Structure 1
Amino acid sequence: MKRKEVEERTIFVGLAGSHAYGLNHPKSDYDYRGVFIAPKEYYLGFDAIEQKDSGWDEEGIFPFISGNKDTVIYELKKVVQLLSAANPNVLELLWLDNYPFITEVGEYLIEHRQIFLSKKVKHTYSGYAFAQIRKMETHRKWLLNPPQSKPLPQEFGIEDEKVLTKDEVNAFLEYLYNLVRGRIEFLEAAEQLYQLLTADIDFKGLLKQHPLPDKTLNYTQSLTNSRSDFIRLLQKSQKYQVALREWKAYLSWQQNRNPVRAEMEKKSGFDLKHGMHCIRLLRSGLEILAQGKVVVNRQAAGDVDDLKAILRGDYTYEQVMKMADDLVAQMDVVYERSPLPLAPNLDRINQLCIELVEMQGW
């Protein structure tokens, strides 16, 4: 959809990112996030759209986002799915302080923001925080012990054999995933396992990211009736592909780092921005469990100075990790006594989605 078409059906646009957190500085980018409701053909026909994240140099209605590359406007159904899944980046959109544009329909959605909160936030907020930690640890490893050269197949025991390509590895793992899934799909006792395998956990992603461990090789070979040398080659190729992917990521990290951020990272020994966001996410998740609301503005939350101190490098890597461990432990305690439901009421959320579409009209 063209920019103007999206903006004509937009129900709100909010100022997100560092300005919303109260962590902005004079050179901070403006991050705008919003919601629109697609026209009739996108609901009843073959057309589909989840979000508009480019094309802001086209003719439009909202001058404040013209040319702004840090703008995303989500389609309602997509945003409702993310809200129901307690996605931290999307949940906060309903608790912003600044909405440069909002309609009656947008206000109605925000009035019902409470129905999206559940104890799932413990898992999503801590999961997003751990993602920041993984990035932090990867960058720290590169700082302290950078890779010296591009990995070669022979370093992984692949001598005369041809390395399996990424597509060949993924094709086999897709087959393995479908083979395992097919064993449990129609077993009533395994319904929860099937739900985990197909929806709640990205098992295909896990298989592709991590090489098959030694103890599974014989079982995998017998399960798939494949040659044992193929399974060994698969494992070697996976390890090689993982190392190659890390090498490429390292080169990209070196070439594309912000110079100021890189200097701070070198001085402190870890990525300060990832460390700050890790702590912010864990504190936010803890607040939601305890208070039943999302506090986006860290000035209002009372820890903006502390988060800025992390960004300045006032805390060591060990201190930030200790903060994270303590917050996770607190989350476990607060989770048990939180008044929030275990999961959101999907029927009520579905009804709200219908109401919003009807309010907007075609």
Structure 2
Amino acid sequence: MQRLEVEQRTILIGLAGSHGYGLSRPGSDLDYRGVFIAGKPYYLGFDKVEQKEGGWDTESGIFEFLNGQKDTVIYELKKFIQLLAGANPNIIELLWLKQYPVKTEVGKYLIQNRRMFLSKRVKHTYSGYAFAQIKKIESHRKWLLNPPQEKPTPEKFGLTGERPLSKEELNAFLEYLYALVRGKIEYLAEAQELHQLLTGDIDYKGLLKQHNLTDEVLEYTQNLTNSRGDFIKLLQKSQHYQNALREWNAYQSWQTNRNPTRAGMEKQSGFDLKHAMHCIRLLRSGLEILRSGEVFVDRQEVGDADEFMAILNGELTYEQVTALADNLVAELDRAYSDSLLPHHPDLPAINQLCIELVEMQGW
């Protein structure tokens, strides 16, 4: 959809990111997030739209404050509500911001019903997003302390005289392997819980693609897939090579695109301070939601903004940050048991809210 059409049907735009958290500094980017309700062709026809995240510098619109703001994303209502129901931290906070440059009557009604989306799921999503920050910290720390020295070659992974499988070929085989494993347990009554874990709760397909097949499982994989032994060995070597190549490319991109000031702080402290701050913020926010049933976005209002700025300024060591994260994870576990929030959101009620919002907006 064109920018003008989206903005004409926008019900809410908030200032998120560092400004929303009360942690902005001079030069901090403006991160606008919003919600719009698509028109009749998208609800009754074949057209589909989930979000608008480009065109702010090339298309004309009605909200001048968005001109040139490339970090802006405006979600279509149905996509937005699906993410809310899934307790997506970046989406939940949009309904609890202080600043809304755009807030229509429909947007106000959505905000009035924001508690409908809070459930104990936040424990898993907020800690999951926090662990994603930890993973980035560890990757960058490894690069800071022991940077890769040279681009990997197939020969170094035993691929002499044979072409390594491409990423697409690897993924196609691993998709097939995942489908076989899933099929083995799909119709076993005693394995229903395992099947749910495999297909819903954990992205095992992603794990299969990310981690190399170990020597211990090669024979089983060969038998399960009726593959030749030489192919399975080629598969494993190719996995090692492609993962090393992906690591090298990620390192090169990180080196090229780093903010010079942030890079200097990382080098001095030995870890990525921004990711560390977001890790602690996410864990603390999840804990607050479980305990209070409220979302506190602005850390100035909470009163702990100075603590987060201390992390950003490199005043805490890597060991202090990880110890703080460990303590918060333990607190999250306790708060989860005591929380009065429901285990899951009321999906029929959320569905009815979506209908009401669309009807309020009209075609």
TM-score by length of 1: 0.98
Residue 243 (structure 1) aligns with: 244
> What amino acid sits opposite 2:39 in the alignment?
P
Residue 32 (structure 2) aligns with: 32
Answer yes or no: is 1:60 the counterpart of 2:61: yes
Answer yes or no: is 1:289 the counterpart of 2:290: yes
- Matches of residues 103-182 of structure 1 in structure 2 within 5 Å? 103-182=104-183
Per-residue deviation at 1:18?
Answer: 0.4
Gap change, CA 1:198 and 1:44, over 3 Å in 2: farther
Partner Cα distance (2:218, 2:125) in 1 = 32
The alignment-based identity, stated in percent, is 70
- Matches of residues 93-108 of structure 1 in structure 2 within 5 Å? 93-108=94-109
Partner Cα distance (1:160, 1:308) in 2 = 54
Per-residue deviation at 1:176?
Answer: 0.9
Q: Secondary structure at the match of 2:34?
A: strand
Encode CA deviations 1:49-95: one digit per residue, 9 max, x unaligned: 10000011311111111111011000001010100110000000000
Residue 201 (structure 1) aligns with: 202
Gap change, CA 1:192 and 1:75, over 3 Å in 2: farther
Partner Cα distance (2:11, 2:196) in 1 = 34
Residue 184 (structure 1) aligns with: 185
Per-residue deviation at 1:210?
Answer: 0.8
Residue 6 (structure 2) aligns with: 6
Q: Secondary structure at the match of 1:13?
A: strand
> What amino acid sits opposite 2:84 in the alignment?
L
Encode CA deviations 1:70-124: one digit per residue, 9 max, x unaligned: 1100000101010011000000000000101111111111101101001111111
Per-residue deviation at 1:206?
Answer: 1.2
Q: Which moved more, 1:281-290 or 1:228-237?
A: 228-237
Q: Secondary structure at the match of 1:270?
A: coil
> What amino acid sits opposite 1:27 in the alignment?
G
Partner Cα distance (1:74, 1:200) in 2 = 25
Residue 215 (structure 1) aligns with: 216
Residue 278 (structure 1) aligns with: 279
Residue 18 (structure 1) aligns with: 18
Gaps of 5+ in 1: none
Q: Secondary structure at the match of 1:68?
A: coil
Partner Cα distance (2:326, 2:215) in 1 = 31
Aligned positions, number: 362
Partner Cα distance (1:311, 1:236) in 2 = 40
Per-residue deviation at 1:310?
Answer: 0.5
> What amino acid sits opposite 2:137 in the alignment?
M
Q: Secondary structure at the match of 2:143?
A: helix
Answer yes or no: is 1:354 the counterpart of 2:340: no
Answer yes or no: is 1:341 the counterpart of 2:342: yes
Residue 45 (structure 2) aligns with: 45
Partner Cα distance (2:196, 2:222) in 1 = 26
Partner Cα distance (1:219, 1:167) in 2 = 23
Partner Cα distance (1:215, 1:45) in 2 = 51
> What amino acid sits opposite 2:129 in the alignment?
Y
Partner Cα distance (1:193, 1:359) in 2 = 43
TM-score by length of 2: 0.97
Partner Cα distance (2:13, 2:134) in 1 = 30
> What amino acid sits opposite 2:303 in the alignment?
G
Q: Secondary structure at the match of 1:159?
A: coil
Per-residue deviation at 1:188?
Answer: 4.5
Per-residue deviation at 1:196?
Answer: 3.1
Partner Cα distance (1:223, 1:325) in 2 = 39
> What amino acid sits opposite 1:71 in the alignment?
T
- Matches of residues 255-334 of structure 1 in structure 2 within 5 Å? 255-334=256-335
Gaps of 5+ in 2: none
Q: Which moved more, 1:214-223 or 1:71-80?
A: 214-223
Per-residue deviation at 1:185?
Answer: 3.5
Partner Cα distance (1:114, 1:130) in 2 = 25
Per-residue deviation at 1:157?
Answer: 2.0
Per-residue deviation at 1:174?
Answer: 1.1
Partner Cα distance (2:357, 2:64) in 1 = 26
